[in-house]
Amino acid sequence: MQAAESRTSSKVAEPLHDDEIHVWWLDYRREHGRAPLRALLAGYLGAVPEMLAFVEGEHGRPSLAEPHGALAFNWSHSGDHALLAIARGIVPGIDLERLRPRPRAMDIARRYFCVEETEALAALGPQQRDDAFLSLWTAKEAVLKATGRGIAYGLDRLQFTVPPAPSRLLRLDGDDASAWQLQSLVPASGHVASLAWRGPARRIRLLTLAGAS
């Protein structure tokens, strides 16, 4: 099921309903560290940003420490922008990439992707192949981040449909692929992203923090 998507702009956190996932598009520089993340999460919690504490899971995924652990998040940055996914009751995973030529796309696919994905990519034209590769890459990252693992788990241990087909998880070793939701996002021109979570479909609200371009 395709999740509904809307876009708005705001300087403060929006009310987060239990059937929603909020995805924030914001300006980001590495020197900012976790300050933008803290500020947005604090807006949802009515807390002072500096008082929020984070804990890391077995594979390094950060989450909020108690008493705020019920609010789940994941974020990804590329270049000068970032995406932050926030939800309750599920654990989201998100990955953001800039669209640009990928001369080594097929080399990477042959080494790390499953055979079916690699063959489907090889059948595409060069421009289609670059875009499809990034769609696959962000989908794999998003699912693995939602599971709490990183790409060291093995990118060939999960399989997706290959664009131009709608993005869908076909296989995830040790799990039921049909239990997962996957949403492709285009947060801004020149960027592509994927959002994943385990559980029923939810409404996705794509929000832009005032000042982000």
Judged against a pLDDT cut of 70, whether residue 212 lies above it is answered with no
**85 contacts 92 by C-beta, under 8 angstroms:** yes
pLDDT in tens, 52-92: 999 988 878 899 999 988 999 999 999 899 999 999 999 99
Cα distance between residue 171 and residue 105, in whole Å:
22
pLDDT in tens, 128-183: 999 999 999 999 999 999 999 888 899 999 999 999 999 999 999 999 999 999 99
CA atoms in the 13 A half-sphere facing the CB of 136: 29
Angle, vertex CA 181, rays to CA 166 and CA 147, nearest 5: 125
Predicted TM-score (pTM) of this structure:
0.92
